[in-house]
Structure 1
Amino acid sequence: MALVNAGVLVLDCAEPEKLAVFYKELLEGEEADATANRVEIRTADGFRIALRRDVNATPPSWPRPENSLQAHLEFVVDDLDAVERRVVSLGGRPLEAKDASGPWEERGYADPAGHSFTLRRIPPTAPKQG
């Protein structure tokens, strides 16, 4: 029997109810649990993210060096442009960052409360046709 049954990424923010709407829509998830100070979202594939109330929460400044990255989410997507439009329509914003090295294409964003996350597309491994 596993000692740890599940993992939940928890982000502190001033208004968890509002931030939960952003992640629920972006991830096409459902509210799994909610209290006065915490809202948890669960996706169809079992990913869980919770938003916890912290009235003094301040977002990291990444990619600027004044404040550490702390933590960020990374979402693997097929169409960066389509998901970027969705992020912006939900109140997220692009972050300026250096191009990532390596085989992935990725772009950085901040959610409406300022938490950073990355959209990453892995190039197809099948040979190009035509």
Structure 2
Amino acid sequence: MALVMAGVVVLDCAEPEKLAAFYRELLDGEETDTSANRIDIRGADGTRMGFRRDLTATPPSWPRPENSLQAHLDFQVTDLDEAERRIIGLGGRPIETKDAAGPFEERGYADPAGHSFTLCRTPTMAPKLG
């Protein structure tokens, strides 16, 4: 048995209830544990996240250098435009949505508490013809 098991990504925020609801909806997930100061969720694909109350939490200022990117999340999607509409509908906002060329296209966003995350287009795996 492994000494250290895989953990949970935990985001500090002033309002964990609101942030957990954002990611629960985005990941088609469910709450797994709740306490006064923390909420854990599991996405439909098994992604586990926690949201811990910190009344003094300040979001990173990325892409500005003064309080630069501390950490961010990457999510794989097949349709960037559809995912963007969903994120904005849930209260997120675009940060950097320039389309990158090539099979690894990505766009940057912030959740309602200001944490940055990236959507990465999953290359289609269609069979080769010919």
Structure 1, residues 46-79: CA drift from partner, whole Å, max 9, x if none? Answer: 2100000000000001111121210101000000
Query: What CA distance in whole angstroms lies between the structure 1 residues aligned with 2:60 and 2:30?
Result: 27
Instruction: Identify the residue that residue 105 of structure 1 maps to in structure 2.
Output: 105
Q: Which runs of 5+ in 2 are unaligned?
A: none
Instruction: Identify the residue that residue 16 of structure 1 maps to in structure 2.
Output: 16
TM-score by length of 2: 0.90
Query: What CA distance in whole angstroms lies between the structure 2 residues aligned with 1:10 and 1:101?
Result: 32
For 2:3, give the aligned amino acid.
L
Query: What CA distance in whole angstroms lies between the structure 2 residues aligned with 1:97 and 1:25?
Result: 21
Instruction: Identify the residue that residue 91 of structure 1 maps to in structure 2.
Output: 91
* Cα distance, 1:64–1:100 mapped onto 2, change above 3 Å: farther
Query: What CA distance in whole angstroms lies between the structure 2 residues aligned with 1:50 and 1:92?
Result: 18
TM-score by length of 1: 0.90
For 2:118, give the aligned amino acid.
T
Partner of 1:123, secondary structure, is coil
Instruction: Identify the residue that residue 72 of structure 1 maps to in structure 2.
Output: 72
Q: Which runs of 5+ in 1 are unaligned?
A: none
Mapping of residues 1-130 of structure 1, within 5 Å? 1-96=1-96, 103-126=103-126
* Cα distance, 1:128–1:109 mapped onto 2, change above 3 Å: farther
* Cα distance, 1:91–1:41 mapped onto 2, change above 3 Å: same
For 2:57, give the aligned amino acid.
A
Partner of 2:96, secondary structure, is coil
Query: What CA distance in whole angstroms lies between the structure 2 residues aligned with 1:63 and 1:28?
Result: 28
Task: State the Cα RMSD in Å.
Answer: 1.9
Q: How many residues align?
A: 129
